[in-house]
Copies of this chain bind each other. A is one copy, B any other.
Amino acid sequence: MEVKVRQRPITALFDPASVAVVGASEDPRKWGNWLAVGALRGEAHRPAYLVNHRAGTILGRRAYATLGDLPEAPELVVIAVPGPAIAPTVDAALDAGARALVVISAGAGGEERDAHDAALARRVRDAGAVLLGPNCLGVLDSGHRLELVPNPLPAGAIGLISQSGNLALELGLMAAPDGLGFSRFASLGNQADLDATDLIDAFAAHDATEVIAVYIEDFRDGRAFARAAARAVGAGTPVIALAIDGSGAGSRAVQSHTGALASDGAAIDAAFAAAGVQRVRTPRELVDAAQALLRAPAARGRRVAVLGDGGGHVSIAAAVAAQAGLEVPELSEVAMAPLRETLPAAAGVSNPIDLAGAAEQDVHVFDRISLDLLGSGEIDALLVTGYFGGYAEYGPEAAADELRTAELLGAAVTATGRPLVTQTMYPHGPAAQALRGSGVPVYESVEQAAGALARLADRGTWEPETIAELPPAEPPAAGDGYLAARALLAGAGIRFVAHHEVTGVEEAVQAALQMGYPVVLKALGETHKSDAGGVVLNIGNEAQLRAAYAQVHAALAPERCTVERMAPLTDGIELLIGARWDPRFGPVALAGSGGLYAEILRDTALRLAPVTEPEAEAMLRALRIAPLLIGARRRPPLDLAAAAAALAALSRVAAAHPELAELEINPLLVTRSEAIALDARFIRAPHNAEPQERESAVHLHP
């Protein structure tokens, strides 16, 4: 697939032949000063021109009054001028031959913002250039000595794309002590022209960027974002993203179970899972994940051995690893035999492995045992925890031995292709540094180390999912309420329980007689019918039906009701299947435990819709209640294929009906022989979408 951004001059943004800073200043409290200082740091690599309408001298260099005065066309122009001056300055830059622009200043605010930004982007694109911002804090390419940012950031292999300036600063402060830093940094700002998707593509093609990290608030086209991330991940560059569950969640009026369960955050999760994006929640998690993905190979599975000197440490680590979703399997006799030979009798050798003091005699037990374990075929990764890194305290000889052991631990990783992650009490000592240098991630706390292993397993076990194109929209669904939803979904081939629409009690009695008792009586017109007393189940005879009819009428006075076959609920499992139209990611399909328990259990699986039948089946198999569906523990297997077919059909309907915000069947009764819908509803999308808020404050200092 050809990527549009590669046809645009994005290299001019990261490795320009020349740079001009417009709004350059001598005043160390101003942006124009910080950027000018940054531009001059790269002078050995490219000319840096300072532009200020007052001309004169700035930072010992000539200041040009206008871009037109420069001796050559500036390939990259950074603009730090007051808001109203942005548009003319952009024009002047394009006239002067600029290929890339970075607009620091915020342009228009409030309601005018989008129009202002769109106009800027149009000009830039028409001129064949690219623009970063406005309202961004700059761009950095450490390999090319381009440092157009207000704060120094450590150099390294992380490509950072961020919609928050403070966060970039914090990530730099956290990354540096771990020996990590940035290959590139692009501050997204308003994404008037270049957006996160473009930058992911550009970073994925950049050799010095080994991991892409994204902080994003505004996804724009979420599927395009996911596809770009999937391309990067598929081509070998992991993508880590910190994204906050939409602030719209609180205000969005949720009307169905699906709406409540397929939250904004769950839609992000679904898109990230499809793309192989590693989602993080905090800056600390981002840096920890980056360290793991940069230093260690992926783990092919979740089986972990835990190794340390001291029963307390290894027990804690094993428990934390299990909590992080890893397995700590008992080792076989074959794998334990060499441990038994090497270690004292008091040692624990079955996993977790407690050296029981053996390393005090010979610290090389660590590398010998690690090589054995990583090569055993019984585990996918190794967690070394506790005191390692502190043996140097025993004296210079011990220190040298420990350093050599650290290198050999790295060699064991190289030899086996399996990752080793360490937690040490001495994360800043020489052995820890040697570990980092040998390809072994080092963490201060065991929860960080276990989390890192989970990341490596996520990477190694990720299976790409199709990020489906949306089908053409079908004509909007007709009508409203249960019968309209039923008609729409039945039209897509989903089986519903037999029903008769009735307008009076005598018609109801006739209908029941015709279909046979027991029956269900449903009032039409309400959305949460069962809560409102509008549904009576398990009506066994005419007298009960008449009583139920009277009761429903007293409660709701519906114009019409349906009489339906009572389905054999105890013969099967009730599922919820549904879809929600997410404003960023489009339709998202959901499977979950259904019936009464739906929202209480929150046992759900989500994917971007539409889904195929095999994808639908994978969703159902991912539920906690899957054992009941597939027939574990000698229970008969239920008709999983029929349930998957219904879910796939519903997801296709949802994807073709953007006018429906929510669409669901609850319950879908799955028995041994069928999957049958017992109720359905849809919710139309409101006509206006709420505007998203964006961060504006960034902290800047010289």
Among A527-550, those with CB < 8 Å from B are 528, 531-533, 537-538
Task: Give per-residue flags for A154-175: 1 if the beta carbon is below 8 A from chain B beta carbons, else 0.
Answer: 0000000001111101100110
Residue A682 is within 8 A (CB to CB) of chain B in the complex: no
Residue A473 is within 8 A (CB to CB) of chain B in the complex: no
Task: Give per-residue flags for A689-702: 1 if the beta carbon is below 8 A from chain B beta carbons, else 0.
Answer: 00001111111010
Nearest Cβ in chain B — how far from A305, in angstroms?
A: 15
B319 and A284 contact, CB distance less than 8 A = no
B425 and A170 contact, CB distance less than 8 A = yes
Given A282-B445, A628-B596, A357 and B697 contact (CB-CB distance below 8 Å): yes
Nearest B residue to A636 by beta-carbon distance?
A: B533
Residue A447 is within 8 A (CB to CB) of chain B in the complex: yes
Query: How far does the alpha carbon of A510 sit from the alpha carbon of B97 in the complex, in Å?
Result: 99
Task: Give per-residue flags for A107-142: 1 if the beta carbon is below 8 A from chain B beta carbons, else 0.
Answer: 001000000000000000000000000000000000
Query: How far does the alpha carbon of A570 sit from the alpha carbon of B528 in the complex, in Å?
Result: 18
Residue A390 is within 8 A (CB to CB) of chain B in the complex: yes
Question: B217, B323, B570, B625: which contacts A569 (Cβ < 8 A)?
Answer: B570
Query: How far does the alpha carbon of A692 sit from the alpha carbon of B139 in the complex, in Å?
Result: 59
The stretch of A77-85, A310-318, A582-590, A639-647 in contact with B is: A310-318
Question: B285, B323, B699: which contacts A387 (Cβ < 8 A)?
Answer: B699
Task: Give per-residue flags for A212-228: 1 if the beta carbon is below 8 A from chain B beta carbons, else 0.
Answer: 00010100000000000
Query: How far does the alpha carbon of A425 sit from the alpha carbon of B151 in the complex, in Å?
Result: 14
Task: Give per-residue flags for A429-457: 1 if the beta carbon is below 8 A from chain B beta carbons, else 0.
Answer: 00000000000000011110000000000
Query: How far does the alpha carbon of A299 sit from the alpha carbon of B488 in the complex, in Å?
Result: 52
B697 and A281 contact, CB distance less than 8 A = no
List chain B residues, Cβ under 8 A from A537.
Answer: 570
The stretch of A1-9, A49-57, A241-249 in contact with B is: A241-249
A696 and B356 contact, CB distance less than 8 A = yes
Residue A386 is within 8 A (CB to CB) of chain B in the complex: yes
Query: How far does the alpha carbon of A390 sit from the alpha carbon of B597 in the complex, in Å?
Result: 49
A697 and B346 contact, CB distance less than 8 A = yes
B697 and A355 contact, CB distance less than 8 A = yes
Nearest B residue to A309 by beta-carbon distance?
A: B697
Question: B170, B215, B445: which contacts A283 (Cβ < 8 A)?
Answer: B445
Residue A601 is within 8 A (CB to CB) of chain B in the complex: yes
Nearest Cβ in chain B — how far from A698, in angstroms?
A: 7
B699 and A360 contact, CB distance less than 8 A = yes
Nearest Cβ in chain B — how far from A324, in angstroms?
A: 11
List chain B residues, Cβ under 8 A from A285.
Answer: 447
Nearest Cβ in chain B — how far from A31, in angstroms?
A: 13
State how many copies of this chain the complex holds: 2
Residue A624 is within 8 A (CB to CB) of chain B in the complex: yes
Given A166-B310, A393-B701, A697-B355, A532 and B444 contact (CB-CB distance below 8 Å): no
List chain B residues, Cβ under 8 A from A313.
Answer: 164, 166-167, 170
Residue A365 is within 8 A (CB to CB) of chain B in the complex: no
List chain B residues, Cβ under 8 A from A596.
Answer: 573, 628
Task: Give per-residue flags for A558-592: 1 if the beta carbon is below 8 A from chain B beta carbons, else 0.
Answer: 00000000000110010000000000000000000
Question: B284, B386, B701: which contacts A444 (Cβ < 8 A)?
Answer: B284
List chain B residues, Cβ under 8 A from A346.
Answer: 109, 696-697
Query: How far does the alpha carbon of A281 sit from the alpha carbon of B323 in the complex, in Å?
Result: 10
Task: Give per-residue flags for A190-229: 1 if the beta carbon is below 8 A from chain B beta carbons, else 0.
Answer: 0000000000000000000000000101000000000000
Residue A633 is within 8 A (CB to CB) of chain B in the complex: yes
List chain B residues, Cβ under 8 A from A242.
Answer: 316
B624 and A601 contact, CB distance less than 8 A = yes
B699 and A310 contact, CB distance less than 8 A = yes
Residue A147 is within 8 A (CB to CB) of chain B in the complex: no
Nearest Cβ in chain B — how far from A679, in angstroms?
A: 15
Nearest B residue to A392 by beta-carbon distance?
A: B701
Nearest Cβ in chain B — how far from A475, in angstroms?
A: 35
B357 and A281 contact, CB distance less than 8 A = no
List chain B residues, Cβ under 8 A from A167.
Answer: 310, 312-313, 316
Query: How far does the alpha carbon of A276 sit from the alpha carbon of B390 in the complex, in Å?
Result: 35
Query: How far does the alpha carbon of A445 sit from the alpha carbon of B330 in the complex, in Å?
Result: 34
Nearest Cβ in chain B — how far from A476, in angstroms?
A: 31
B355 and A311 contact, CB distance less than 8 A = no
A387 and B570 contact, CB distance less than 8 A = no
Nearest B residue to A244 by beta-carbon distance?
A: B315
List chain B residues, Cβ under 8 A from A311.
Answer: 164, 217, 693-697
Query: How far does the alpha carbon of A253 sit from the alpha carbon of B381 in the complex, in Å?
Result: 29
Among A327-350, those with CB < 8 Å from B are 330, 346, 348
B315 and A217 contact, CB distance less than 8 A = yes
List chain B residues, Cβ under 8 A from A698.
Answer: 310, 357
A316 and B244 contact, CB distance less than 8 A = yes
29 contacts between A and B (CB under 8 A): A164-B311, A166-B386, A166-B387, A167-B310, A167-B316, A169-B387, A173-B425, A215-B312, A244-B319, A281-B447, A282-B316, A282-B447, A283-B445, A284-B444, A311-B694, A311-B695, A311-B697, A312-B695, A346-B697, A354-B697, A356-B697, A357-B697, A360-B699, A531-B633, A531-B634, A531-B635, A570-B570, A596-B628, A597-B625
Q: Which 10 A-B pairs have the closest CB atoms?
A: A311-B695, A164-B312, A284-B445, A166-B310, A357-B697, A393-B701, A531-B633, A356-B697, A170-B425, A244-B315
